[in-house]
A = this chain, B = another copy of it.
Amino acid sequence: MNASEDEIIAWFESQSKLSAAEFPIGIGDDMAEIQWGEGTSVFVTTDMLLDGVHFELGKATLKQAGYKAMAVSLSDCAAMATVPVAAVVSVALPKGFGEGELKQLHKGITSAGDKLGCKLVGGDITSWHDEQPFAISVTMLSKAKGNKAVRRSGAKVGDVICVTGSLGGSRFGRHLEFEPRVKEATRLAQMVSVNSMIDISDGLSSDLNRICKASKVGAIINAEQIPISDEAKKSENPLGAALNDGEDFELLFTLSEKKCEKLMKAWDGTVPITRIGKITDSKKVEIKAADGKVSDLKPDGYDHLK
């Protein structure tokens, strides 16, 4: 593919001509927002996960695949600081998959959803005619409750950039069992006004670039401040893993210096929050190394079309 995933999505967005009154958030954010009734919105996200790409059946169980498929969409709800309500799931089954496999999958789906109050309300089961691989698509509906939804596009010059948890090395196993930051997201959005947020699905480098592009700002982060996971520390290039591995499903968000101070004081710390940099007016996304050298931070995370 000659175009990147982000370029294709930008083209889809340019074609969409959605009325802002009916669809306050359209294509290009973590979820779309649909005005549903007086003062009520429906937020919606969809994700497709494939055997051999997002998990490998055999190494991973179907329960883990079902869990991950739900958790990825739950993480989109977290990225907007919305509360998941219901999910529908469609699957493409390899020939020969039986009742037992579907029940395992169901266990994974509900174990992810139930914890966060998100119900499985419908679905569609189809089978390949040949030995084609398993695919699962989850669509999730959520609500804003007690706080406004947080978009990618609200970052302001001078904002502090923060992340939850630690980054990198998710592919060594964590990507199958991560905890979507739904409760943390709504809690922090209720404590302070958060200007922009995204979940780190494709890697800090890619997802920070997305925030900056959507917000028309630049950023500089400090390599030394990035919380590197224990798994990533064991790899050849820990910083590279933390920047580009993806599938961390941690929150990346920005807020004013003042709000950040308030948050840091009040935050309970079960899931740590770390300051990693600042939003700038430079239009460039940069990283400052330990030796003080500043270089461009290219979006080198996962691209589904490359």
| A215 at the binding interface (Cβ < 8 Å) | no
Answer yes or no: A53 CB below 8 A from chain B CBs: yes
Bound: A141/B86 CA distance, A: 12
A46 at the interface (CB under 8 A from B): yes
Contact in complex: B88, A32 (CB < 8 Å)? yes
Q: Is the Cβ of A16 less than 8 Å from the Cβ of B119?
A: yes
Interface size on A, residues (CB 8 A): 70
A48 to B34 alpha-carbon distance, docked (Å)? 23
Stretch at the interface among A123-131, A149-157, A169-177, A276-284: A123-131
Residues of B within 8 A of A86 (CB): 23, 32, 34, 44
Would you call B12 and A106 a contact (CB within 8 A)?
yes
A12 to chain B: closest CB distance in Å? 7
Q: Mark each residue of chain A from 103 to 135: 1 if its CB lies under 8 Å from any CB of chain B, else 0.
A: 100100010000000011111111111101101
Please tell me how many copies of the chain the complex holds. 2
A214 within 8 A of B: no
Contact with B along A21-54 (1 / 0, CB 8 A): 0110011000110101111101011111110111
A6 to chain B, nearest CB (A): 10
The CA of A103 and the CA of B5, in the complex, are separated in Å by 13
A92 within 8 A of B: yes
A305 at the binding interface (Cβ < 8 Å): yes
Shortest C-beta distance, A107 to chain B (Å), equals: 10
A3 interfacial contact with B, CB 8 Å: yes
A137 touching B98 in the complex, CB below 8 Å, given contacts A27-B123, A52-B129, A121-B26:
no
A sample of 8 more A-B contacts (CB under 8 A), given A1-B97, A26-B121, is A1-B98, A9-B125, A16-B119, A27-B120, A34-B85, A44-B88, A48-B90, A125-B305
Q: List 29 A-B contacts (CB under 8 A).
A: A3-B99, A8-B99, A8-B102, A11-B99, A16-B119, A16-B120, A23-B119, A23-B121, A26-B122, A27-B121, A27-B122, A31-B122, A32-B121, A32-B122, A42-B42, A44-B86, A44-B141, A45-B88, A46-B89, A46-B90, A46-B124, A48-B90, A48-B124, A48-B135, A50-B132, A53-B128, A132-B132, A137-B137, A137-B139
